[in-house]
Structure 1
Amino acid sequence: MTDLGTPVLDNHLHLDAENRGIEAVEEFARSGGTHLLVVNKPSWHLGAEPDDGEDFRPVFEETLGLVSQASDVLEGCAWPVLGVHPALISQLVDDRGLSVEDARDLMCAGIDVAAEYAEDGRAVALKSGRPHYDVSDAVWDASNDVIRHACERAGDAGVALQLHTEATEDLTDVATWAEEAGLPPERVVKHYASGELAGVTKSVMCRKEYLETAVEVGEPFLMETDFVDDADRPGAVMGPKTVPRRVRWLREEGHDDAVRLAHVETPESVYGIDTEATLAE
């Protein structure tokens, strides 16, 4: 057990072998971090210009390789989250000239490939979402169709679903779609969340004010940095040390129960992962 006396999970960050990669994991571990959920970088960041679902596979395979290396470094382990970044729809429509319907179908095909890994036990969650910026009604509706499809595939595979969405404290619409698809809404996670969220589970960005709100609300939550591992944006969005530092701060403030909720209980209920049993002896 680290000097923090608890498992420490960053619920959402990215790794890139061409940037800091495992060096960032080592920094996280030195700071007291023990577990990671590694989300594949957006496909275009890794040079992929997909024409069909299979074209996403190299992106997923690269993530799996980095997860394996990360697990060798950590006192605990890392798990992959695989899927399609929702901003891809704008690239497909605006830059490549696809119809909204064809872009939607291509993104769903990418999620189908990610679901293969989840069904084989090689991913603990899928990733989907909708743009966090203004888009046309047609793109918005198509993006929601992709989320519904992701809910269905996550439900079929028995895994969780991480979502990238607009800034909001209400995702009860998505909770309804998840229920309709047989996916428990609590297994849907909004990444980059603030301290309050209705409908699904929140993955709270590690700003102190957000964490204070999450502690006060008392509902299940996770903690994340959304570290992007981009040489052009070092430390963005938050650096690898941030979650361990915030755990230390929460414990100093007397919030041991909230730390256990975020790093042991919620990971178990959402992803079915045991952050205590997976700690090295």
Structure 2
Amino acid sequence: MLDDHLHLDRAGKGIEAVKDFVRSGGTHLLVCNKPSWHLDVEPETGADFRPVFETTRSLVAEASEVLPGRAWPVLGVHPALISRLIDDRGLAVSEARDLMMAGIDVAGELAASGDAVAIKSGRPHYDVEPAVWDASNAVLKHALEVAADADVAVQLHTEETEDLTAVADWATDRGLEPKRVVKHYSSGRLTGVTPSVMSQQSYLEKAVAAGEPFLMETDYVDDPDRPGMVMGPKTVPRRVNWLLEQGHEEAVERAHVETPRSVYGIDTRATLDRD
């Protein structure tokens, strides 16, 4: 059982959250770095993102010691950073764009070395000025190009939508298969790229009915001030058991074996400790 997108934080439950996941039947994790400002990092250069990425890589290594399978890192720059850089720090739109691209470049270097299976990027899920929207899309396109060069996937944080065919076209233009672009926080039905479905029963029912590749996630935040946000680490295993009870064995195989292999190149069977 793979949770496709969650966060870990030593200031939160950290590895105890992983143990909760395992006790519920979970086996594999994709751990996405927290937004840089959550770790008190206010970057001035691309290199300033490196401690954020290294913190995630360290937590992934610790999680893999606990899991019956293993964990993998997803590294990148949260799209909401553009608003913090412009509104809070007074950067020009072009300066914010370039700084975020530089952070993506560092994530790409790590991914190219085998230290991440996906790049994190996206665009704001809230209303922004047209210039900020355009700059955010430029960052997103850059992430697609970096991922293609590193031969890894991309996880996107975007507005709520069921149609990302334009993004799929951007990926194709940059040499990245659209199936290797994942929309984090999907509601179950999506055209263009691969949905990572929030593990609510109604969303999962839509994903199963579509019969298309999908992943399952919680977006667990691991924030001591917001325990259980967005969903707790036990959720994916519980929802998998519910799907199996409903007779959806093929959908579970698709979400936890076939799609992870196709999107990320990871083998959730071969990496499972069967002792």
| TM-score when normalising by structure 2 | 0.99
Give the counterpart of 1:30 among 23, 37, 43: 23
Give the counterpart of 1:80 among 73, 76, 79: 73
1:173 equivalent in structure 2: 166
| Cα distance per residue 1:161-184 (max 9 Å; x no partner) | 000000000001110110010000
Give, in whole Å, the separation in 1 of the partners of 2:271 and 2:207: 26
RMSD over equivalenced CA pairs, Å: 0.4
What amino acid does structure 1 have at the position aligned with 2:16?
A: E
Tell me the CA shift for residue 157 of structure 1.
0.3
What amino acid does structure 1 have at the position aligned with 2:225?
A: D
Give the counterpart of 2:244 among 251, 262, 265: 251
Q: Does structure 1 residue 230 correspond to structure 2 residue 223? A: yes
Give, in whole Å, the separation in 1 of the partners of 2:224 and 2:236: 21
Q: Does structure 1 residue 13 correspond to structure 2 residue 6? A: yes
Q: Does structure 1 residue 102 correspond to structure 2 residue 95? A: yes
Give, in whole Å, the separation in 2 of the partners of 1:16 and 1:213: 31
Tell me the CA shift for residue 71 of structure 1.
0.2
2:59 equivalent in structure 1: 66
What SS class does the counterpart of residue 82 from structure 1 fall into?
A: strand
| Cα distance per residue 1:93-135 (max 9 Å; x no partner) | 0000000000000000000000011000010000000000010
Q: Does structure 1 residue 211 correspond to structure 2 residue 226? A: no
What SS class does the counterpart of residue 4 from structure 2 fall into?
A: strand
1:111 equivalent in structure 2: 104
Within 5 Å, give how 1:160-199 maps onto structure 2. 160-199=153-192
Gaps of 5+ in 1: 1-7
Tell me the CA shift for residue 155 of structure 1.
0.2
What SS class does the counterpart of residue 173 from structure 2 fall into?
A: helix
What SS class does the counterpart of residue 69 from structure 2 fall into?
A: coil
What amino acid does structure 2 have at the position aligned with 1:185?
A: P
Give, in whole Å, the separation in 2 of the partners of 1:19 and 1:223: 22
Tell me the CA shift for residue 19 of structure 1.
1.0
What amino acid does structure 1 have at the position aligned with 2:262?
A: S
Give the counterpart of 1:201 among 187, 194, 207: 194
Aligned residues between the structures: 274
Gaps of 5+ in 2: none
Give the counterpart of 1:276 among 262, 269, 272: 269
Give, in whole Å, the separation in 2 of the partners of 1:86 and 1:60: 16
1:4 equivalent in structure 2: none
Tell me the CA shift for residue 195 of structure 1.
1.1
| Cα distance per residue 1:56-99 (max 9 Å; x no partner) | 00000000000000000000000000000000000000000000
Within 5 Å, give how 1:135-150 maps onto structure 2. 135-150=128-143
What amino acid does structure 1 have at the position aligned with 2:267?
A: D
1:155 equivalent in structure 2: 148
> Identity over the aligned pairs, expressed in percent?
72
| Cα distance per residue 1:36-59 (max 9 Å; x no partner) | 000000000001000000000000
What SS class does the counterpart of residue 239 from structure 1 fall into?
A: coil
2:86 equivalent in structure 1: 93
What SS class does the counterpart of residue 127 from structure 2 fall into?
A: coil
Q: Following superposition, which runs of at least 4 residues in structure 1 exceed 2 angstroms of deviation?
A: none
| TM-score when normalising by structure 1 | 0.97
Give, in whole Å, the separation in 1 of the partners of 2:124 and 2:69: 33
